[in-house]
């Protein structure tokens, strides 16, 4: 199994319960508030946006080697607010389609880099050393699903970032919140 295949398997392990919980919401609940204060509409749009952004970052890295953190997401709170506002009138079905499309596109992009690209630019992250690809992907997929698990009533047995490229389980670190924490700047991964 390639590194990309292992990473995709780990993503899918977290995706299935997350997606099932989204499916179980039903249209009527999309404007209800979660325990964290989002609406379910905001939460689904937010996860879709970060997966879409991650797919675009992976494509740019694969094609040009560019690892710059996108300007549009430098202020994560502002990015999240723009995403929520832009989806206020989007219907539940269209929003779920957007989530599924972003997820498929991200999985396709993960499968495209070669092993050298999958191993490139190992950096320190809140969950231990990770390659750049894994750092971008982990915080915006299974780490992200885990972050929102309580809001969706999903048990916190979802995979945490750990060493996802090696299929390792959780890595504990100072300040970890049940196996996952964001870097101090509030981003999903270290801004590289």
CATH number, domain with residue 69: 1.20.120.450
Look at residue 173 and tell me whether its pLDDT is greater than 60: no
**Number of domains, the chain:** 1
Report yes or no on 18 lying in a domain: yes
Picking from 45-54, 60-69, 106-115, 116-125, which range would have the lowest pLDDT averaged per residue?
Answer: 116-125
Q: Measured over all CA atoms, what is the biggest interatomic distance in the chain, rounded to whole angstroms? A: 46
- The answer to whether the Cα torsion of 81, 94, 23, 176 is positive or negative is negative
- Check pLDDT > 70 for residue 113: yes
Task: Supply the mean pLDDT for the chain.
Answer: 80
Residue 134 lies in a domain: yes
Domain membership flag for residue 186: no
In a domain, 176, yes or no: no
Look at the pTM and tell me if it is higher than 0.85.
no
Is 182 within a domain?
Answer: no
Domain with 81, as residue range(s), is 3-166
Distances (CA, A) of 23 to 30, 96, 112, 120: 11, 8, 29, 36
Q: Would residue 191 count as lying in a domain?
A: no
Confidence bin at 94 (pLDDT 50/70/90): very high
Q: What is the pLDDT of residues 2-30, one digit of tens each?
A: 889 989 998 999 999 999 999 999 888 99
Instruction: Assess if residue 58 is contained within a domain.
Output: yes
pLDDT digits 0-9 by tens, 134-145:
888 988 898 888
């Amino acid at each position: 199994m390639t590194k990309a295949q292992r990473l995709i398997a780990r993503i899918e392990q977290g995706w299935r319960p997350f997606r099932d919980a989204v499916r179980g919401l039903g249209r009527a609940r999309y404007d209800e508030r979660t325990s964290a204060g989002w609406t379910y509409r905001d939460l689904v749009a937010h996860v879709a946006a970060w997966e879409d952004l991650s797919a675009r970052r992976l494509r740019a890295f694969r094609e040009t080697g560019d690892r710059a953190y996108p300007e549009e997401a430098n202020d994560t709170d502002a990015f999240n607010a723009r995403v929520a506002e832009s989806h206020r009138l989007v219907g539940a079905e269209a929003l779920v389609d957007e989530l599924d499309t972003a997820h498929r596109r991200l999985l396709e992009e993960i499968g495209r880099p070669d092993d050298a690209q999958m191993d490139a630019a190992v950096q320190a992250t809140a969950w231990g050393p990770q390659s750049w690809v894994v750092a971008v992907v982990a915080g915006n997929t299974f780490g992200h699903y885990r972050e929102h698990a309580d809001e969706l009533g999903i048990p916190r047995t979802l995979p945490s970032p750990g060493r996802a490229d090696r299929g390792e389980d959780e890595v504990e670190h100072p300040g970890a919140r049940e196996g996952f924490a964001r870097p101090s700047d509030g981003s999903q991964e270290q801004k590289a």
